[in-house]
Structure 1
Amino acid sequence: MPGNSQRKGAVARKGKGNTAGSGGRVRRGLEGRGPTPKAEDRPYHAAHKAKARAERSASGRQTTPTTKRTGRPGSGPEWVIGRNAVLEAMEAEIPVKAAYVAEGAERDDRLREVFRLAAERSTPMLQVTRAELDRMTDGAIHQGLALQLPEYTYTHPDDLLAAALDAESETGRAPLVVALDSITDPRNLGAVIRSAAAFGASGVLIPERRAAGMTAAAWKTSAGAAARIPVARAVNLNRALRAYADAGFTLVGLDGEADTDLAAAEGITGPLVLVVGSEGSGLSRLVREACSTIAAIPISASVESLNAGVATGIALYEISRQRRVP
């Protein structure tokens, strides 16, 4: 169709004389473009996105409402997606930036309860088209409802160190910090934060990479403690731990195979950083070398290891118990 496109090959060259009855010149000028792709094969077409979502559902991916984050953990706001997940997040009083509901979304008991909680807490409730909600949640199965969480503000490790020392001068109690080495389950992070707050720790220190961050799951498991205790994130955990050691803290690492019982470890009644490794690989080599002592929690031989969150809670109780002994 002459003059209808700027694409190469889409316009037939004009010949001399009368062009009526081109004799196939227009058809030959358009050769090579091939058949028009089906709508479902065009990446930016709605049919393509619908097909992709159907394939994910069929393969078992994202069949349960979940949370979603774009970019590196901690790099931006997180989305809580799906009616059950959104309602659970609202009931757990997780901080919410805004709630989004798709136009024409079916009203059910879950959605009505979310509306009620949003009204009680003055949470912005915004109505958008389903296509817009698809775009914001990157095509996830949102069931017409999603929450956007505010980006979590982490404390700098140096500021956490200063706050721990200030707390010692104000209360007279030895400061306590919990450091996590490569804990990747956000529920373990939330459980540790909850225990740290319960036993008077000044904060929790985590590495920036290859570790869980403050996601909705971590917020929920912390049962609100994440709003009361700072979480610091270190670019280099080993370097940050050595800075704490230079400031007078004893670094005690937990390891199930250590010979020293935690109850007998030296330095736990003074300024202390309790270092907990992942369930799989435990403490990394450099972090282990930075620790003053490696200690274990005695358990039955029939159990291979303790969950990192459970182990931290037990260790903090023992530390608290010893610090109360006259």
Structure 2
Amino acid sequence: MAEESGPTEWAFGEPVGVGPWPGDWPADDRYDQALLADGDRRNVVDHYRYWRRDAVVADLDSRRHDFHVAIENFQHDHNIGTVVRTANAFAARAVHIVGRRRWNRRGAMVTDRYQHVHHQPDMAALLDFATAEGLAVVAVDNVPGAARLETAPLPRKCVLLFGQEGPGLTDDARKQATLVVSIAQFGSTRSINAGVAAGIVMHEWIRQHADLDLAW
């Protein structure tokens, strides 16, 4: 059987994707023979249809961007799955879960199979990692003194650090960051969903640094 047979990445509705490969099978060893025989119902772009999972990851590794994403996880934040899925869409180098190791994978829609996800036990460990890799730490929080995301130049090599829904980032995270940015808001709510905020900031990094000719 294939590593992922059937509509494993979609919880409801009609099966998606493509059916069995029509005609002669490709000889390229990136292709999974079970997927070629049974069809590929995974949530992947057409470029990766019928590919083995490890082949997809290897190809993504050759095109990942220079930003990492980190999210503090002290209250089992349900937004982490969404952050992982978005990080995969924008080809983040890796996602780091800071704090509790366990997180709700439902929102990731199985994209964590293709996205590198690491655990950092605390903020000190994340900062040590960032220092060793030469990464600036960009904290995202709507606090006094934060630079406007919309006008702030983001470092190319960085960790985009997000807090949890509600409490936001810890004081230690903000104090240790290279840069603190906030997202401009115009309504009555004090904050926006953490998963949405992560998507906005990742896309701003893409806007500033990515080669859009390489987008699918």
Label 1:185 to 1:288 Cα distance change in 2 as closer, same or farther (>3 A). Answer: same
Question: Does 1:311 pair with 2:197?
Answer: yes
Label 1:208 to 1:305 Cα distance change in 2 as closer, same or farther (>3 A). Answer: closer
Residue 247 (structure 1) shift: 2.3
Label 1:91 to 1:293 Cα distance change in 2 as closer, same or farther (>3 A). Answer: closer
Q: Deviations over 1:111-165 (max 9, x none)?
A: xxxxxxxxx9xxxxxxxxxxxxxxxxxxxxxxxxxxxxxxxxxxxxxxxxxx9xx
Label 1:234 to 1:177 Cα distance change in 2 as closer, same or farther (>3 A). Answer: same
Structure 1 runs (4+) greater than 6 angstroms displaced: none
Aligned CA RMSD, in angstroms, stands at: 3.1
Structure of larger gyration radius: 1
Whose helix proportion is higher, 1 or 2?
1
Q: Deviations over 1:246-279 (max 9, x none)?
A: 421111000112431113334x241110000112
User: For residue 190 of structure 1, what is the amino acid of its counterpart?
Assistant: G
- Distance in 1 between the 2:74 and 2:151 partners? 25
Higher relative contact order (CA 8 A, sep 6+): 2
Which of 156, 168, 176 does residue 67 from structure 2 map onto? 176
8 Å Cα contact 2:77-2:164 kept in structure 1: no
1:108 is matched with which residue?
none
- Which SS does the other structure have where 2:150 is aligned? helix
8 Å Cα contact 1:245-1:251 kept in structure 2: no
1:197 is matched with which residue?
88
- Which SS does the other structure have where 1:270 is aligned? coil
Which of 128, 136, 147 does residue 260 from structure 1 map onto? 147
Gaps (5+ residues) in structure 1? 1-88, 94-119, 121-162
User: For residue 85 of structure 2, what is the amino acid of its counterpart?
Assistant: R
Residue 302 (structure 1) shift: 1.5
8 Å Cα contact 1:269-1:322 kept in structure 2: no
- Which SS does the other structure have where 1:315 is aligned? helix
8 Å Cα contact 1:251-1:291 kept in structure 2: yes
Label 1:186 to 1:302 Cα distance change in 2 as closer, same or farther (>3 A). Answer: closer
Structure-to-structure mapping, 1:114-263, within 5 angstroms: 171=63, 175-182=66-73, 184-209=75-100, 213-215=102-104, 218=105, 220-258=106-144, 259-263=146-150
- Distance in 1 between the 2:77 and 2:170 partners? 19
- State the percentage of identical aligned residues: 28
Residue 182 (structure 1) shift: 2.8
Residue 322 (structure 1) shift: 1.0
- Distance in 1 between the 2:112 and 2:77 partners? 12
8 Å Cα contact 1:238-1:290 kept in structure 2: no
- Which SS does the other structure have where 2:190 is aligned? coil
- Distance in 1 between the 2:195 and 2:157 partners? 22
Question: Does 1:299 pair with 2:185?
Answer: yes
- Which SS does the other structure have where 1:244 is aligned? helix
Gaps (5+ residues) in structure 2? 1-7, 13-37, 39-57
8 Å Cα contact 1:183-1:189 kept in structure 2: no
- Distance in 2 between the 1:90 and 1:312 partners? 22
TM-score by length of 1: 0.43
- Which SS does the other structure have where 1:281 is aligned? coil
8 Å Cα contact 1:197-1:228 kept in structure 2: yes
8 Å Cα contact 1:205-1:234 kept in structure 2: yes
- Which SS does the other structure have where 1:263 is aligned? coil
